[in-house]
Amino acid sequence: MPLPDAGDPDNTILYEQLRSKTLSDLTSAQLDQFRSQFFVNGINEDDLRRLELIFAAANISSRSGVIPGSTKIVSVTSTSDGSYVTLFQPNKGEIWVVNSAHMSKVGSGTTVHSISYYDGSTDSQWFYLSSGSTDTILTSDDNWPTHPMYLDHSTYFRYKGTNNFSQATIQLVVSRIR
């Protein structure tokens, strides 16, 4: 997709790219794609306002709250080797909120489940559960906080399970807010 041209004051290139689309066709991924093409300078200021207006009208851009249509379930399977697995790492520039979490395992006996915030070098244990259950809604546990948890590209969730299981599947319900 070509960049809007500074010599194109009406931004006909941008509108040409959008000409075959209705507002209901546009997605938040397309908004990201368009935004990533703009350099930060005074020449592009009006074009950026136009983009924001178009995507706000399409109801896929949010300045507060969840971006409509962005909620999804992320599912990751882990083995019992005691190593961390990334649960969910948003793309650069994105911020997601964790709505709920669920874990199921194969195996009997008590298993230790640990979810950590990770910043690329340090794990900070955030949630810990020692349970014999094979199916657990983590968000119903007393240890699960009542405040929102935000994830971005540089600080995201990882999981580690130990003891008495052959595999665990962890599901997060996440919604994009930016």
Which top CATH class is 72-176? mainly beta
As given in the structure block, the two tokens for residue 104 are 């199921």
Average the pLDDT over each of 15-19, 54-58, 162-166 and give the range with the smallest value.
15-19
Residues 6+ apart with CB under 8 A from 133: none
Cα–Cα distance, 42 to 37 (Å, whole number): 15
Q: Is the pLDDT of residue 92 over 50?
A: yes
pTM for the full predicted model: 0.65
Return the minimum-mean-pLDDT range out of 6-15, 23-32, 35-44, 120-129. Answer: 6-15
What is residue 11's predicted lDDT score, i.e. its pLDDT? 56
Q: Are 109 and 163 in contact (CB under 8 A)?
A: yes
- Asked if residue 19 has pLDDT above 80, the reply is no
Within 10 A of 164 (CB to CB), how many other CB atoms are there? 14
Task: List pLDDT tens digits, range 138-168.
Answer: 777 676 777 788 899 999 989 888 887 788 8
pLDDT for residue 6 is more than 60: no
162 vs 17, higher pLDDT: 162
> Residue 26 corresponds to which tokens in the numbers above?
């546009």
Residue 160: the pLDDT is 87
Position 12 scores a pLDDT of 58
Domain with CATH 2.60.120.340 in the chain: 72-176
